[in-house]
Chains A and B, each alone.
Chain A
Amino acid sequence: MNLFQHIGRFTLMISLAFRKPEKWKVLRQNIIIEINTIGISSLSIVALLSLFMGAVMVIQTASNIDSVLIPAYTVGFATRQSIILEFSSTMICLILAGKVGSNIASEIGTMKLTEQIDALEVMGVNSINHLVLPKILASLFIFPFIVLISMGLGLIGGGLIGTQAGIITLEKYIMGLQYYFEPFSITYSLIKTLFFAFFIATIPSYFGYYVNPSGGALEVGRSGTKSVVASSMIILLINLIITYFLLL
């Protein structure tokens, strides 16, 4: 299949996903399950990464400032900008594309392989709507919160290492965080996150759903890899497009 055929089939899958669900109650229950699987279970890794990356950013920024003309609070300012504009949205979503994406692709791919999807279809259930829509809605709901948590923890991590290692005082760090702060930078980051969330949920679902069942476990593994590569590329592309239109 060429790229255009993939795009066509992907679009068809999305149109089938957004059909009226069989039972709203079942959809609500599935969304809650997916929020837990996709979002809550990712919180620990996001927290760890954010704390450490915030700390590394403070050290790197401080080590690159060797002029006395640059005020100390610049460390806080640069860390804030990096974390809010890029790290907490793009980097965290790239990591989640790997963790969540491979999980979704292998889950749906295995269901295809073991005829669970056929079982749904024979019963008269729209399998794409039943399996994919809860993942999309759960991702759109939970990802912005994950990104906000990551922002907070990244800045805390930076502050902790900055003060504990004697790089910067807490007052100067907080002054840097507040310096020329534009709330729109958070809005921009959350807008990006919503787009990333949509593709992190749908691209692996696509590769899992259309896995070739005769390929067995090997094919399910491949679908996971393909989905991570494709969603990472899409995230980077969307990041560029949204940044161009919103920040220029």
Chain B
Amino acid sequence: MSIIVNDIKKGFGGTEILKGISFEFEKGKTNLIIGQSGSGKSVLTKCIVGLYEVDEGEVIYGGENFSGMSKSERKHIRTQIGMLFQGSALFDSYSVEENVMFPLTMFSDMSKEEMLDRVNFCLKRVELENTNHLYPSEISGGMQKRVAIARAIALNPQYLFCDEPNSGLDPKTSIVIDNLIYDLTKEYDITTVVITHDMNSVMEIGENIMYIHEGENWWTGDKHSIVTTDNEEIGSFVYASAFMKQLRGKLN
């Protein structure tokens, strides 16, 4: 099921951050929201997942108007959402196993053994077997991201949100995380939304891309069209460094 945002507006203290964004995040694809820092990517994501209420417009999950629902009405959609936060947002006082088990404990009627099986399955899927009893402080940043992904997929979500999944990671680990997100999207046929300003990620997994500039949907396309577009704003984002600009000149 896709996610559709219709003419979303959001402001804080008289400053309009999102100025009427519309877009369809397609099912079974890795949908990317890209843009410069301060362009409104994170605010848009928080509006979509309901952490912020939109001022105007609507967010539609699989035909249901999420933004028009009350908190209790949203619950059944929320349990279908998995989210990977920028800093992983793992619970410090819980072990890896307890972190992944948390959504199952809260929202499923599984027995302890069934939950443990599911946790082990999810951890195996992100290639983190035998880390059950470690704590977030005892594992690396990349491993924390993978635990957060395991937690996000524990309840078999229909929608997966990843807020800057590669921030703080080296390029090699970033690719591992990107590929994991891409594979999970295809494997479970879910709607994945990735917020990033990492061009490596865009080139690796960008199937349906929205470029936000100053709170507006500036450009849409995929990883192939983004490198060939003649839009100057996109060009300066994709080819930001002097070296890349030179390369672009040679390509042209």
Contact across chains for A119 and B78 when beta carbons are under 8 A apart = no
Contact across chains for A124 and B85 when beta carbons are under 8 A apart = no
State the interface size on chain A (CB cutoff 8 A).
15
Contacting residue for B89 out of A23, A118, A124, A125, CB 8 A: A118
Q: How far is the CA of A111 from the CA of B93 in the complex (A)?
A: 11
Which residues 111-156 of A sit at the B interface, judged by CB distance below 8 A? Answer: 111, 114-116, 118-119, 121-125
Contact across chains for A122 and B83 when beta carbons are under 8 A apart = yes
Shortest Cβ gap from B154 to chain A (Å): 10
Residues in A whose Cβ lies below 8 Å from that of B107 = 22, 123-124
Contact across chains for B85 and A119 when beta carbons are under 8 A apart = yes
Residues in B whose Cβ lies below 8 Å from that of A23 = 105-106
Residues in A whose Cβ lies below 8 Å from that of B91 = 111, 116, 119
Shortest Cβ gap from A214 to chain B (Å): 12
Which residues 54-100 of B sit at the A interface, judged by CB distance below 8 A? Answer: 74-75, 78-79, 81, 83, 85-87, 89-92
Contact across chains for B49 and A122 when beta carbons are under 8 A apart = yes
Contacting residue for A119 out of B75, B83, B105, CB 8 A: B83
Contact of A26 with B by CB under 8 A: yes
Q: How far is the CA of A124 from the CA of B50 in the complex (A)?
A: 10
Interface of B is mostly: mixed
Contact of B51 with A by CB under 8 A: yes
Interface of A is mostly: helix
Contact of B20 with A by CB under 8 A: no
State the interface size on chain B (CB cutoff 8 A).
23
Shortest Cβ gap from A202 to chain B (Å): 20
Shortest Cβ gap from B90 to chain A (Å): 8
Contact across chains for A124 and B83 when beta carbons are under 8 A apart = no
- Fill in one digit per residue for A91-127: 1 if any B CB lies within 8 Å of its CB, else 0: 0000000000000000000110011101101111100
Q: How far is the CA of A219 from the CA of B89 in the complex (A)?
A: 19
Contacting residue for A22 out of B51, B81, B89, B106, CB 8 A: B106
Which residues 195-242 of B sit at the A interface, judged by CB distance below 8 A? Answer: none
Contact across chains for A119 and B106 when beta carbons are under 8 A apart = no
Residues in A whose Cβ lies below 8 Å from that of B75 = 124
Q: How far is the CA of A110 from the CA of B92 in the complex (A)?
A: 10
- Fill in one digit per residue for A19-41: 1 if any B CB lies within 8 Å of its CB, else 0: 00011001000000000000000
Shortest Cβ gap from B196 to chain A (Å): 17
Known pairs A114-B87, A115-B87, A116-B89; A121 contacts B105 (CB<8 A): no
Residues in B whose Cβ lies below 8 Å from that of A115 = 85-87, 89
Among A114, A116, A121, A122: residue with most chain B CB under 10 A: A122
Nearest B-chain residue to A126, judged by Cβ: B71
Residues in A whose Cβ lies below 8 Å from that of B85 = 115, 118-119
Contacting residue for B51 out of A110, A118, A125, CB 8 A: A118
Among A23, A115, A119: residue with most chain B CB under 10 A: A119
Contact across chains for B78 and A124 when beta carbons are under 8 A apart = yes
Residues in A whose Cβ lies below 8 Å from that of B102 = 123
Nearest A-chain residue to B84, judged by Cβ: A119
Among B49, B87, B106: residue with most chain A CB under 10 A: B106
Residues in A whose Cβ lies below 8 Å from that of B49 = 122
Closest 5 A-B residue pairs measured CB to CB?
Answer: A124-B78, A119-B89, A115-B89, A115-B85, A122-B83
Instruction: Given contact pairs A26-B106, A118-B85, A124-B78, enumerate 16 new A-B contacts (beta carbons under 8 Å).
Output: A22-B106, A23-B105, A23-B106, A114-B87, A116-B89, A116-B92, A119-B91, A121-B51, A122-B49, A122-B50, A122-B161, A123-B81, A123-B102, A123-B107, A124-B74, A124-B75
29 pairs from A and B in contact (CB 8 Å cutoff): A22-B107, A23-B106, A26-B105, A111-B91, A114-B89, A114-B92, A115-B85, A115-B89, A116-B90, A116-B92, A118-B89, A119-B85, A119-B89, A119-B91, A121-B50, A121-B51, A122-B49, A122-B78, A122-B81, A122-B161, A123-B79, A123-B83, A123-B102, A123-B106, A123-B107, A124-B78, A124-B79, A124-B107, A125-B106
